[in-house]
C-alpha cells in the first residue's frame, strides 16, 4: 500500500509540537496551526486518529529523576496528555472539524472513555478521534499508546510528526553529513537503536505490520503533502 492510498491513519504528535517557541506548556497559536494541519489532511478524505504526548507539561521520567515515585509521576504525565487532547479538540472545533476525545483513564466529565467500536463509529461519521492518556498504564509512553490505537483501530499507518524530516543515520542537527533513510526495517531501527519511537512501540508496529512514517510537522502543509506521497519522510516497514 502506498502512502497516497491510505484511508485511515493515526497521527502521533509529541507534546512539544504544541509548545511553539516556549519552553513549556500549550501555545494556543501553535495548537491552532497543528489543528489546521490535521484539517487539511482530513479534507483529503482521510479518517484520522490522533495521539498527543504530554512532554510539554510533564514527563514521568523527569519526575522520577527528581525523586518522585515513577508510577505516580507517570500518572501525572498521562493527565498532561489529556490537557493537550482537550486543547487540540478545542482548536479543531474552532476550525469546524468535529472531534471526540477518548481517554484511557476514565474522566467522564471531560471526555469519553476509550471504546473501540464507538471510536470506529466516530471515524465513519467524519469525526477526528483523539486518544488521550496513552495506554492508561505507567511505564509506557504515548508512542506505545499510538502503536496500540493504530493496531486496534486498524489504521493503515502511524504517522509520527517530529521536528526532523525523517530518520537519519546520525543526528542531522549535529552532523552535517547525516544521511536520511527513505525506508528502513523495524528490525534495523531496533538493532541500531535509532530514535524513531521507543522500542515497545516499534515492536508493536512490527508485529502488526503497521508502517511508521516519520516526517516534519514544522513546515506548513507538510502532513497533507506527505500523505499525497510528495513530501519528505522516512517509512519504517518490514523490509530494509
Ligand atoms: N505516560 C504513561 N503511560 C502511557 C503514556 C504516557 O505513563 O501510556 C506518561 C509518561 O510519564 C510520559 C508522559 O505520560 O512521560 C507523557 O507522555 P510522552 O512522554 O509519551 O509524551 P511526548 O514525549 O510524546 O510529548
Query: For strand 112-113 and strand 99-103, is the pairing parallel, antiparallel, or unpaired?
Result: parallel
Strands (E), 181-221: 183-185, 212-216
66 alpha carbon to ligand 1 midpoint, in Å? 17
Residue 164: other Cβ atoms inside 10 A: 18
Ligand 1 pocket residue status of 77, Cβ below 6 Å: yes
Residue 1: pLDDT band by 50, 70, 90 thresholds? confident
Ligand 1 atom closest to the CA of 139, numbered from 1: 7
**Contact indicator for 84, 52 with CB cutoff of 8 Å:** yes
76 alpha carbon to ligand 1 midpoint, in Å? 9
* pLDDT tens-digit series, residues 150-207: 999 999 999 999 989 999 998 888 999 999 999 999 999 999 999 899 999 999 999 9
Ligand 1 pocket residue status of 142, Cβ below 6 Å: yes
* pLDDT tens-digit series, residues 14-58: 999 999 888 899 999 999 999 999 999 999 999 999 999 999 999
Domain boundaries, the chain: 3-237
pLDDT at residue 3, as a whole number: 85
3-state secondary structure 45-71: CCEEEEEECCCCCCCHHHHHHCCCCHH
Close Cβ partners of 234 (under 8 Å, ≥ 6 residues apart)? 166, 167, 180, 181, 182, 183, 184, 213, 214, 215
* pLDDT tens-digit series, residues 93-151: 999 999 999 999 999 999 999 999 999 999 999 999 999 999 999 999 999 999 999 99
Domain 3-237 top-level CATH class: alpha beta
Sign of CA dihedral 151, 153, 158, 160: negative
Query: What is the spatial distance between Cα 166 and Cα 196, in angstroms, rounded to a whole number?
Result: 9
pLDDT at residue 68, as a whole number: 97
Long-range contacts of 195-200 (CB under 8 A, 24+ apart): 195/167, 196/160, 196/167, 196/236, 197/12, 197/143, 197/146, 197/147, 197/160, 198/141, 198/143, 198/144, 200/140, 200/143, 200/144, 200/147
Q: What is the pTM of this model?
A: 0.97
Task: Say if residue 135 carries a ligand binding annotation.
Answer: yes
Residue 220: pLDDT band by 50, 70, 90 thresholds? confident
Nearest to 12 by CA among 142, 137, 112, 133: 142
Task: Say if residue 44 carries a ligand binding annotation.
Answer: no
pLDDT at residue 173, as a whole number: 86
Ligand 1 atom closest to the CA of 13, numbered from 1: 24
pLDDT at residue 127, as a whole number: 98
- pLDDT of residue 219 exceeding 90, the answer is no
Amino acid at each position: 500500500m502506498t502512502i497516497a492510498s491510505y484511508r485511515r491513519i493515526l497521527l502521533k504528535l509529541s507534546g512539544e509540537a504544541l509548545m511553539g517557541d516556549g519552553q513549556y506548556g500549550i501555545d494556543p497559536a501553535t495548537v491552532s496551526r497543528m489543528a489546521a494541519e490535521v484539517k487539511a489532511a482530513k479534507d483529503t478524505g482521510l479518517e484520522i486518529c490522533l495521539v498527543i504526548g504530554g512532554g510539554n507539561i510533564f514527563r514521568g521520567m523527569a519526575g522520577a529523576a527528581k525523586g518522585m515515585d515513577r508510577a505516580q509521576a507517570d500518572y501525572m504525565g498521562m493527565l498532561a496528555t489529556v490537557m493537550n487532547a482537550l486543547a487540540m479538540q478545542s482548536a479543531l472545533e474552532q476550525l469546524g472539524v468535529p472531534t471526540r476525545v477518548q481517554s484511557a483513564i476514565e474522566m467522564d466529565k471531560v471526555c469519553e472513555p476509550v471504546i473501540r467500536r464507538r471510536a470506529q463509529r466516530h471515524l465513519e461519521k467524519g469525526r477526528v478521534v483523539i486518544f488521550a492518556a496513552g495506554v492508561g498504564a505507567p511505564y509506557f509512553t504515548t508512542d506505545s499508546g499510538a502503536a496500540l490505537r493504530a493496531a486496534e483501530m486498524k489504521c493503515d499507518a502511524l504517522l509520527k510528526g517530529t521536528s526532523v524530516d525523517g530518520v537519519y543515520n546520525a543526528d542531522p542537527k549535529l552532523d552535517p553529513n547525516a544521511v536520511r533513510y527513505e525506508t528502513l526495517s523495524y528490525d534495523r531501527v531496533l538493532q541500531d537503536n535509532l530514535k524513531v519511537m521507543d522500542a515497545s512501540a516499534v515492536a508493536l508496529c512490527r508485529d502488526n505490520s503497521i508502517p511508521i512514517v516519520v516526517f516534519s510537522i514544522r513546515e506548513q502543509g507538510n502532513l497533507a503533502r506527505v500523505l499525497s506521497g510528495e513530501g519528505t519522510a522516512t517509512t519504517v516497514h518490514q523490509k530494509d
